[in-house]
Amino acid sequence: MIRRRLYVEERMSRLAVWSLRTAVFALPVSFIGLALYATETLDFRSALYTVLAGVGISAFSLLLALAAFVVIWNEGLRGLGRVIGAAALALLLVMPTATVAALSIGLPVLYDVTTDTEDPPAFVTLGAVRSRDANSLAYAGESAAAEQRDAYPGIKPIEFDVPPDEIYKAVLSLVTRHKWLIVDAVPPRGGQREGRIEAVARGLPFALRDDVVIRVRRTADGTRVDMRSVSRNSDRDFGSNARRIDQLVTELSEMQGRQRR
């Protein structure tokens, strides 16, 4: 019986065993980094390095799994199930990271996107409570505006021929529907005060925090809405800020029964 057990153990691929162990170890490393960032226990960069460490371990486990598969195929060893399991677990981390990297190709290095590049909506409350390590809320000026126009030509303000109060309520309902964390909400007051909504949204990848401000301003013919979305920590937004603005403006247009131009 002892000889038989030794024989079975010798026929198991050690590479297969270690590929699975490595893949299993990588998952909690990355998820711990994400969890600590979500609970604000770790700052963004520390959390990012933790997540990337897990991704790196996953990539290594995938290489071990490929090597184990070759050995099993050539020598007839056991462990194919472990190889498949290791590859599946590794791809859970490697594929999303690779996808994000691929999608970011060609996108500008922007973290601040706005419908009004000449007079961007200003953060008031969020500007006072954000961490010192966060990205600056001071708009970068013409250099950022030029990059944004080239990358996202459709990001523009939208105007309606209805009073600001009505538009403000519609915008507030959309922000609530998206479950953004509303930090401040100041309704418009005739032509004396602009409406302003400040909120925190979660964006891709890794549920990064983005700060949002929406301005509702009276015009001669009705109301103009401008929006600004700024990534809090990352130096690039992977297109999430532009997508968020485009989505909200589209939904607001549909809610008011008009087509976007």
Q: What angle do the packed helices 164-177 and 240-255 form, to 10 degrees?
A: 130
Question: What is the pLDDT at residue 36?
Answer: 77
pLDDT confidence bin for 244, thresholds 50/70/90: very high
The predicted model gives 145-172 an average pLDDT of 93
Helix (H, G, I), strand (E, B) or coil at 29: helix
Instruction: Give the separation between CA 158 and CA 249, rounded to whole angstroms.
Output: 7
Residues in the chain, total: 261
Of 177, 170, 166, which Cα lies nearest the Cα of 222?
Answer: 166
- DSSP symbol at 219: -
H helix or E strand, kind and range, residue 34? helix 14-38
pLDDT digits (tens, 9 = 90+) for 35-94: 776 666 766 677 778 888 988 999 999 999 999 999 888 888 888 899 999 999 999 888
Question: What is the pLDDT at residue 167?
Answer: 94
Peptide bond into 153 cis (omega under 30): no
Instruction: Give the separation between CA 225 and CA 171, rounded to whole angstroms.
Output: 9
pLDDT digits (tens, 9 = 90+) for 169-223: 999 999 999 999 999 999 998 767 899 999 999 866 566 789 999 999 999 889 9
Under a CB-based contact definition with an 8 Å cutoff, are residues 175 and 243 in contact? no
Question: What is the pLDDT at residue 88?
Answer: 93
Burial class (CB in 10 A: 0-12, 13-18, 19+), 63: middle
Burial class (CB in 10 A: 0-12, 13-18, 19+), 150: exposed
DSSP string, 36-100: HHHTTSS-HHHHHHHHHHHHHHHHHHHHHHHHHHHHHHHH--B-HHHHHHHHHHHHHHHHHHHHH
